[in-house]
Chains A and B, each alone.
Chain A
């Protein structure tokens, strides 16, 4: 733990240096160097803890208001630490290239300092088990993310997106505080260990606490319908910030859920069902939204909500396994969920970095105006394609491994026959639907952006991404490929973290058997990947042998006899998903601005503009408007005289007191 403390010191020093140095490049290197040192220090503790499955607890002496701060380093915290810090380091490396065009005109110091502070918040959230300090880490992460988002603050839209995020994240914060207060009221302590005493005993309040925690963590991880801040924030933020928020920072919500699962011990069955229903709902609706977005980063933002939904389905399955005492479901559910968390970090960061490279090259992120970029920015295109295939769960990449574990859980023979079995088979079908729709969304995003001919002649693609951006993408891509090709190694690493949940089973569970089950479940991954790659290699060889010596002739694309084709006639993002959106029209609302050409000689200026609006957000703003009107109407009833207002307030208080007394007195 000493190393973690030193790492925290190094991060703060790095942040200070990034603010104090005079040159933007030096600021970036100060952040990079300090984060690298901190990462090495933290890994030196986290990796042994994770691989050996050790459990360490300690207390830090501090002063008011937290005299003794409980620190806890178990494989779960080690797992989250072990990839969060390196991913933030990669984000900082990417930022070095991404922000370089601004280096001459703007002070990038605060950005780099805030990236250090984000790493620092991970140290607090993942290791501290005293509620007040945990909340401090939570708040630091939220405020740092907000400040990172509004890098381009002169733009009003971006300030609004940032403010929207700030409000949402604090609503979540208050709900979390409420949950902690509830537990504090029953235990008189702020330590998670004391909370555990309360959470382990079945009581109606335990259920209430669980629901409150799920809402708070759901807001942090942007589950539907708590996601409204996310697409805006992700599209407004610089690419490295979107990547880190989506892939790393907001995984803290899932960490919270997993941590409190460990504290809670045996969950009840309804909690598992509630989680599965909530998460499946989140995954389906969010993935439907990904198909209709024009903004590449907004699309990826919705896809985050989809992926936390998939993780939540896995956690819910694990809950059911714990409630039914089925070790297979516990192992498959939690291992699948934990693996999907880190997989998502790899491919989502990769995709956001590639989207950022597109923005750097073209200054655009609107699908409808891009096209044919693969020839201009081949590296970026290759990385995006890799990330898109992985996020759709296709073999031989990492997404397939975690999804296979979840399928093996949902279709497992260990599920009690009856309604339970039907419900879980339906959950598997829902997962399949999500995979299919995700493939549609990614095919559309990649195909429309990178393939075909450029749609807009006024868009000029400059050079491909810089070396530092490419390096960050390459590391993420390596993770995507390695986990996909060597799932056994990945499972060995996360095994001890997943084993914590197996041990919650009565009698401590059989960790060895659980590991063996999970390892045998992923064999199809290796066989499918090996066969596919071998056959593809063989086919490529055959193809080369068939090809003659002279290069194949080139010609224009066949236009089915029509010769005056223009690139504007290509299928655009909207037209690609139009039919699908029609199927889901209940949730997907397309906002159209149309001016059709009229008369035999139409004047110029006719246009059709479609955007997909978030119906939850729309409803929210509508009801906010309604409540404002309502409040105004009520206010107009009360006279402006101060005494009258006081009287009304007093009456309201008296009414509340009367209700409380009638219910059996105040506690």
Chain B
């Protein structure tokens, strides 16, 4: 039983990202009246990139080459703590969510430095934007996680997800945190309305412009880790919203969670289809929405706990 969960988690961490990107792109395409690329297009792209020989810029140092691997290693390492099947993580520890946030921070720093290493104005621009939004999104993440810790009394990331929908206060908490995490997803994984991965103009990009100079396996590592982060965030939202009761069995809960993750991917795709990318100067305000949503959840949580205590 448990072994099945480990296998499912590993599969979700390593393979689901490919499908999630496919689902988002397909949703966007259908919404725009196109057929869209195959669901497994990311897989073909990664395989092609791995076979390619990279070209390095003359100004780059080893930071440029090791950076993408640091990004991927940090995303993979955080996979040990993140609950992708509602309340299961392979290696739950007290306050491991702090480790996850900081591992992602390490990845972000490595990516920004690799971008700056190319010595191009475009890549510096992307790194600057990423640094700004990355710093502003941290408080929202910690407010949401702190709220969940308060409600559930848990300390490890997987325990935080057992909120449930028992009463109206819990519903407010779940929705508030889900909104906050969805916005964190859009910022961390560079999706519309924070960033548009399909734009063709470097001046408006964040994530894509940071990896302009990367090619071959390094580019594959960066694309793969971005997809992985996106999937983990989507799985977190799904875990919060997962309504299947625990008595149905862990595998049923896990299966429902994976399905819900794909639903979240469809929602992300729908938002991308419906909404235009925000003006860059409006993004800090949009990120404030995440902080406010998490804060509303925090107030609701205090109200709930205050009644109990």
Give Cα A609 to B132, complex, Å.
Answer: 22
**Contact call B143/A426, Cβ cutoff below 8 A:** yes
Q: How far is the CB of B193 from chain A (nearest CB, A)?
A: 17
Contacts of B80 in A (CB 8 A): 527, 531
**Contact call B128/A571, Cβ cutoff below 8 A:** yes
Contacts of B11 in A (CB 8 A): none
Give Cα A389 to B73, complex, Å.
Answer: 16
**Contact call A413/B119, Cβ cutoff below 8 A:** no
**Contact call B121/A571, Cβ cutoff below 8 A:** yes
**Contact call B118/A452, Cβ cutoff below 8 A:** yes
Chain B 231-273: CB-based contact to A (< 8 A → 1; otherwise 0)? 0000000000000000000000000000000000000000000
User: From residue 269 to 302 of chain B, which have CB atoms closer than 8 A to chain A?
Assistant: 280-281, 284, 291, 298-299, 302
**Contact call B95/A436, Cβ cutoff below 8 A:** no
**Chain A count of residues within 8 A CB distance of the other chain:** 85
Contact of B150 among A400, A421, A430, A453 (CB under 8 A): A421
User: From residue 238 to 286 of chain A, which have CB atoms closer than 8 A to chain B?
Assistant: none
Contact of A557 among B50, B53, B120 (CB under 8 A): B120
The stretch among A317-325, A347-355, A546-554, A642-650 that forms the contact with chain B is A546-554
**Contact call B280/A579, Cβ cutoff below 8 A:** yes
A591 at the interface (CB under 8 A from B): no
Chain A 381-420: CB-based contact to B (< 8 A → 1; otherwise 0)? 1000100010011110000100110011011010011110
What is the chain B residue whose CB lies nearest that of A395? B102
**Contact call B217/A452, Cβ cutoff below 8 A:** no
B221 at the interface (CB under 8 A from A): yes
The stretch among B2-10, B39-47, B57-65 that forms the contact with chain A is B57-65
User: From residue 356 to 384 of chain A, which have CB atoms closer than 8 A to chain B?
Assistant: 371-372, 374-375, 381
The stretch among A228-236, A298-306, A441-449, A463-471 that forms the contact with chain B is A441-449
Main SS class of interface, A: helix
The stretch among B15-23, B108-116, B170-178 that forms the contact with chain A is B108-116
**Contact call A439/B135, Cβ cutoff below 8 A:** yes
Give Cα A552 to B153, complex, Å.
Answer: 53
Give Cα A448 to B58, complex, Å.
Answer: 17
Main SS class of interface, B: helix
B59, B76, B306: residue with the most chain A Cβ atoms closer than 10 Å = B59
**Contact call B149/A453, Cβ cutoff below 8 A:** no
Question: If A520-B94, A571-B125 touch, does A553 touch B53 (CB 8 Å cutoff)?
Answer: yes
User: From residue 98 to 133 of chain B, which have CB atoms closer than 8 A to chain A?
Assistant: 98-99, 101-103, 105-106, 108-109, 112-113, 116-125, 127-129, 131-132
What is the chain A residue whose CB lies nearest that of B108? A439
Contact of B116 among A447, A520, A559 (CB under 8 A): A447
Chain B interface category by residue count: 35 or more
Contacts of B99 in A (CB 8 A): 395, 400, 404, 524-525, 527-528
Contacts of A520 in B (CB 8 A): 94
Give Cα A556 to B70, complex, Å.
Answer: 24
What is the chain B residue whose CB lies nearest that of A404? B98
B91, B98, B216: residue with the most chain A Cβ atoms closer than 10 Å = B98
**Contact call A407/B128, Cβ cutoff below 8 A:** no
A167 at the interface (CB under 8 A from B): no
A558 at the interface (CB under 8 A from B): yes
**Contact call B149/A413, Cβ cutoff below 8 A:** yes
A439, A452, A523: residue with the most chain B Cβ atoms closer than 10 Å = A452
B139 at the interface (CB under 8 A from A): yes
Q: How far is the CB of B302 from chain A (nearest CB, A)?
A: 6
Give Cα A578 to B99, complex, Å.
Answer: 29
Question: If A411-B146, A451-B61, A524-B99 touch, does A575 touch B309 (CB 8 Å cutoff)?
Answer: no
**Contact call A428/B142, Cβ cutoff below 8 A:** yes
**Contact call A524/B146, Cβ cutoff below 8 A:** no
**Contact call A578/B149, Cβ cutoff below 8 A:** no
Question: If A407-B98, A532-B74 touch, does A375 touch B132 (CB 8 Å cutoff)?
Answer: no
**Contact call B103/A528, Cβ cutoff below 8 A:** yes
Contact of A372 among B59, B93, B129, B280 (CB under 8 A): B59
What is the chain A residue whose CB lies nearest that of B221? A539
**Contact call A571/B98, Cβ cutoff below 8 A:** no
Question: If A411-B149, A524-B95 touch, does A536 touch B70 (CB 8 Å cutoff)?
Answer: yes
* 18 interchain pairs, CB-CB under 8 A: A389-B106, A404-B95, A411-B146, A430-B139, A431-B142, A432-B139, A439-B109, A439-B131, A439-B135, A443-B127, A443-B131, A452-B59, A528-B96, A557-B60, A560-B122, A560-B212, A576-B128, A578-B128
Which 10 A-B pairs rank lowest in CB-CB distance, beginning with the nearest? A571-B124, A452-B119, A436-B135, A447-B116, A425-B146, A440-B131, A436-B138, A536-B73, A531-B77, A429-B139
Q: Which residue numbers of A lie inside 8 Å of B, CB to CB? A: 371-372, 374-375, 381, 385, 389, 392-395, 400, 403-404, 407-408, 410-411, 413, 416-419, 421-422, 425-426, 428-433, 435-437, 439-440, 442-444, 446-448, 451-453, 520-521, 523-525, 527-528, 531-532, 535-536, 539-540, 543, 546, 548, 552-560, 565, 567, 569-571, 575-580, 582-583
